[in-house]
Amino acid sequence: MPNDARLVLLDKDVVESLLLPDDVLEAVREAFVLHSQRQGRVFPVVREALATGGIFGIKSGDVPAQHLLGFKAAGFWPANRGLGGEPHQATIVLIDPATGRPTCIVDGNAVTTMRTGAAGGLGLQQLARPDSSTVCLFGTGVQARAQLSFALRLMPTLKQVRYVSSAGQPDPAFEALFSTRCDIAPAHDRNAAVADSDVVITTTPGASALFDPEAVQPGTHLNCVGADTKGKRELPDGLLQRVRLVVDDRTQATQIGETQWAPDTPCVELGDLLTSPAQFRRERDDITVFDMTGLALQDLTVARMLFERARQSNLGSAPAWPW
C-alpha cells in the first residue's frame, strides 16, 4: 500500500562494499547491449555551468521491458578540493516507471568511477591490438586509477605504463598502486611517450590538447575520458580525421565528447561492436579512438545491481516514504 512505501538509501560505504569489478563489467556490458538493441533509451543530457563555479548535469534513461527508469544527477565542483572533498559528485535515483515514485537513492561517486573504468576496459578489449604491451596514461587521479586498473585486468599483455601527472611531476603514491602489476614510471616527454605506446588513455579535466597529432603512430588505440562537456577536449586538431572512431552514443559524442570538434567524422557505437563484432575489423595500422561520454544506462544497470544486492544482504537504510 502507498502508506507502507519505503525508499532504500545506499550510502558510500554500502556502495563500495558491494561494487565488485566483475559485476560492474557485466552490468556495463549489458548497458551497451541494451543501447545497441534499442531496448534501452538514453534521454537528452543536461550539462550546465553554475554561478558557483561548478558544472551540473543530469543523465537519464529507461529500459521499458525491464521496468528500469532513473537518472544520475552529477557534476564537477573544483572548489571542493579546498574543503578536503571530492570535486566529482554524483547521485543516482531509481524510479518505479509505473508510479513515478523513487525506489532507491544511491551514492553515485564510486559507481561513476568504476562503471567508467569498466567501459574503458571493454573499449580496449574491442579496439586495441591484442598484442598491445605499452600504455601512455594522462592523469593520476581517481579515474586514471580506474582506467588503468581495468586495462591491466582485461589486457594482461600490457606490461609497461608511462604516465603524465597534472603537475608534470612523479606521483609515488600512484605508482605504488600498480608497481606489482606493471612497469610504471613517469613520462619525461609526453609526445615521445605517446609515440612509444600501443595504448593511450586520457583522463584529464579536458582543458586542452595533451599532445601533438604527429605523436600518434599507426596501430595506436586511444581511450578518451576527459571530454564530457561542451568546450572540453584532450585530442589535438586533425587527429580525428585520421582515425577509426568508436563512441558510446553518437548524439552525446557530438555534443559533449571529443567528437564535438569533428562532428562529421564517421563513427560506430561500441554497443554495436559487442552485439555484431564482425562489422568492425581492425587492421594492424589503424588508429582507433573510443570517445567515452558515459551512458545513463550504465549508471542504471549498475545501480539496479546494487539495489538487488543490498536487499538480498539487508544493507542500506529504508526510511518510510509514504504517498
Q: What is the pLDDT of residues 15-59, one digit of tens each?
A: 999 999 999 999 999 999 999 999 999 999 999 999 999 999 999
- The model carries a pTM of 0.95
pLDDT range class, residue 3, cuts 50, 70, 90: confident
pLDDT range class, residue 64, cuts 50, 70, 90: very high
Residue 64 CA to its chain's centroid (Å) = 24
Q: Are 322 and 24 in contact (CB under 8 A)?
A: no
Domains of the chain with bracketed CATH: 2-111+297-313 (3.30.1780.10), 129-294 (3.40.50.720)
What are the E-state strand segments in 187-243? 199-202, 221-224
Measured between alpha carbons, how far is 101 from 138 in angstroms, rounded to an integer? Answer: 41
Q: Please, which pLDDT band fits residue 182 given cuts at 50, 70 and 90? A: very high
**Residues forming a β-bridge with 137:** 163, 201
Q: Does residue 110 carry a pLDDT above 70?
A: yes
Task: Name the residue among 5, 26, 10 with its Cα closest to residue 302.
Answer: 26
Q: How far apart are CA 73 and CA 53, in angstroms?
A: 17
Between the CA of residue 19 and those of 23, 93, 157, what are the distances in Å?
7, 17, 25
